[in-house]
Amino acid sequence: MTGWVAVAGLGPGAEALVTPEVQAALAEATDVVGYIPYVARVVPRAGLVLHPSDNRVELERARLALDLAARGRRVVVVSSGDPGVFAMASALFEALEGRGETPEIRILPGITAMLAAAARIGAPLGHDFCAINLSDNLKPWALIEKRLRLAAEADFAMAFYNPRSKSRPEGFARALQILRECCGPERPICFARAVSTPDEAIRTVTLAEARPEMADMRSVVILGNSATRRVGPWVYTPRSAP
Amino acid sequence: MTGWVAVAGLGPGAEALVTPEVQAALAEATDVVGYIPYVARVVPRAGLVLHPSDNRVELERARLALDLAARGRRVVVVSSGDPGVFAMASALFEALEGRGETPEIRILPGITAMLAAAARIGAPLGHDFCAINLSDNLKPWALIEKRLRLAAEADFAMAFYNPRSKSRPEGFARALQILRECCGPERPICFARAVSTPDEAIRTVTLAEARPEMADMRSVVILGNSATRRVGPWVYTPRSAP
């Protein structure tokens, strides 16, 4: 048996947002590796070994997947959303550095959180935009601040991943303060929680009204650019520059 | 019959990258509206009216979809990739401005070109990144230049949509020149053409080696950040900041 690793994006939560390509990989897999809540989304079956692991052990998880594949196993590493956006694909390639033999590797894209959220909100990312991870686990906070200011100067719409967690309660409040300074109080900001799941909640306010508690670990946050507007219940960014 | 409009992302090309949600909407539709090559991707069936239209008539197309829905039709507006990323969702909301009655509207996300391309390349968007449309049809070229310089200063990885077309042969050459100035000659740049189709072609070079002709209308181009590296045949951006 020839082993392989597929790093697959499960999308934001709903089965209807999982691609057939990812479903096919799961159907062929002998092993599924991933963070506990993502592995829990895979339907168990005879012959499929599940390897759930805790958060913040991405490199160990990637090494396990490569080791299993080297022994001939067919391994799917599951990520939420898209594996290439603040998820497991980079960790897999980091784990690959310095290894000798390399198994077959495929990255299988998925619907990433910001695009699932944008679809529910309207089209807030309808013009040039950026995606910023607000966690300072793997980068200095000063770099986050610098990127926020430059992104505002560029008038990008912005999507924020990992806006807030219990271990980092302060950062998002500082981010909102910077954004208010740079973008003014009236800019629309959208909080999207648990999109496409039964817990889904979407809320749009102005930057002046935004409060850190509006986001949690299951949220993605989207800020409009200077032209972003409301029409009926929707928020969208026009295709033309202001 | 109650009409509705769904703006659906067909993904980059392969059937295996179309979500079940989008397939379900197409199965319920009475009408499909969109740019000719995207409508051509929908399997015809009895009772389904296809309305293919030419490029650059996005607002007329959006109005047609809203008019059909107002008459009780179930309309899917098809976009390539994701409808919220440089595609039809924004045009639909623009067309909605000032209209009286509004039909039910749903935006159905899809796999956008940059994420399909990134998956084939490795994980070049594995850290903070931005997406910039290089067409100056709807914005001044000066704004594109400004965004390129600020994105380089922010050390974002960058994805470029619509890098080059027959009607705009000069812009991408200027963009490459600016990027060489701001990011240096050694930065990896990836050209991904027609991802997930039989015409797929992926090529990674340095900025010094990059030539405008490496991109065309069917390409998305991805530039790494200052930490982006190669491992084997792959290109990835580490999760940690440099």
- Phi and psi angles of residue A235, each rounded to the nearest 5 degrees, phi first: -120, 130
CA–CA gap between residue A104 and residue A72 (Å, rounded): 11
Q: CB–CB of A90 and B126 under 8 A?
A: yes
Q: CB–CB of B132 and A127 under 8 A?
A: no
Half-sphere exposure of B126 (CA within 13 A, CB side): 30
Torsion over CA: A62, A27, A196, B23 (sign): positive
Report pLDDT for A238.
97
Q: CB–CB of B107 and A119 under 8 A?
A: yes
Choices 3.40.1010.10, 3.40.50.2300, 1.10.3430.10, 3.40.50.1100: CATH for A4-111: 3.40.1010.10
| E strands in A71-228 | 74-79, 104-108, 122-123, 129-133, 157-161, 188-193, 201-206, 219-223
Single-letter code of the amino acid located at A59:
L
Please name which of A4, A131, A137, A3 lies closest in space to residue A59, comparing C-alpha atoms: A137
SS (H, E, C) B120-166: HHEECCCCCEEEEECCCCCCCHHHHHHHHHHHHHCCCEEEEECCCEC
Report pLDDT for B232.
94
Q: CB–CB of B236 and A94 under 8 A?
A: yes
Least confident of A92-96, A155-159, B142-146, B161-165: B161-165
Which two tokens mark B111?
């796999």
The kind and range of the H/E element at A35 are: strand A31-35
Q: CB–CB of B17 and A143 under 8 A?
A: no
Residues 6+ apart with CB under 8 A from B23: none
SS3 B50: strand
CA–CA gap between residue B38 and residue B32 (Å, rounded): 10
Q: CB–CB of A239 and B15 under 8 A?
A: no
Q: pLDDT class for B168, splitting at 50, 70, 90?
A: confident
Q: Where in chain A is the domain with CATH 3.40.1010.10?
A: 4-111
Q: Which residue of A has its CA nearest to B118?
A: A84
Q: CB–CB of B96 and A138 under 8 A?
A: no
Report pLDDT for B167.
77
Report pLDDT for A56.
82
Give ipTM to 2 decimals: 0.97
- B188-209 average pLDDT score: 98
Q: Which residue of B has its CA nearest to A98?
A: B231
Which two tokens mark A22?
């990812």
Report pLDDT for B172.
96
Report pLDDT for B165.
76
CA–CA gap between residue B6 and residue B69 (Å, rounded): 10
The kind and range of the H/E element at B36 are: helix B36-39
Q: Which residue of B has its CA nearest to A154?
A: B147
- B233-238 average pLDDT score: 97
Q: How would you class B35 by CB atoms within 10 Å of its CB: exposed for 0-12, middle for 13-18, buried for 19 or more?
A: buried
Nearest-Cα distance to chain A for B242, in Å, is 8
Nearest-Cα distance to chain B for A48, in Å, is 22
Please name which of B18, B232, B227, B23 lies closest in space to residue B116, comparing C-alpha atoms: B18
Nearest-Cα distance to chain B for A19, in Å, is 5
Number of Cβ within 10 Å of residue B201's Cβ equals: 14
State the DSSP code for B43. P
Residues of B in contact with A148 (CB under 8 A): none
Q: Can you say how many angstroms the Cα of residue B229 is from the centroid of all Cα atoms in its chain?
A: 25
Residues 6+ apart with CB under 8 A from A194: A13, A200, A201, A218, A219
The answer to whether residue B175 scores a pLDDT higher than 80 is yes
SS3 B21: helix
Read off the pLDDT of residues A64-85 as tens digits, 9 standing for 90 and up: 999 999 999 999 999 999 999 9
CA–CA gap between residue B175 and residue A81 (Å, rounded): 31
* Cα→Cα distances B233→A73, A105, A106, B136, Å: 22, 10, 12, 34
Read off the pLDDT of residues B58-97 as tens digits, 9 standing for 90 and up: 999 999 999 999 999 999 999 999 999 999 999 999 999 9
Q: CB–CB of A123 and B93 under 8 A?
A: yes
Pairing status of strand B74-79 against strand B31-35: parallel
State the DSSP code for B202. E
Q: List the CATH code of the domain at A114-236.
A: 3.30.950.10
Per the CB < 8 A criterion, the answer to whether A84 and B125 are in contact is yes
Q: Which residue among A84, A90, A150 sits closest to B115, beta carbon to beta carbon?
A: A84
Segments in chain A below pLDDT 50 = none
Question: What order do you get walking across the sheet with B74-79 strand by strand?
Answer: B49-53, B31-35, B74-79, B4-9, B104-108
Report pLDDT for A31.
98
| E strands in chain B | 4-9, 31-35, 49-53, 74-79, 104-108, 122-123, 129-133, 157-161, 188-193, 201-206, 219-223, 229-231, 234-236
Report pLDDT for A75.
98
Report pLDDT for A166.
76
Residues of A in contact with B80 (CB under 8 A): none
CA–CA gap between residue B195 and residue A148 (Å, rounded): 31
Q: What is the mean pLDDT of chain A?
A: 96
CA–CA gap between residue A95 and residue A116 (Å, rounded): 29
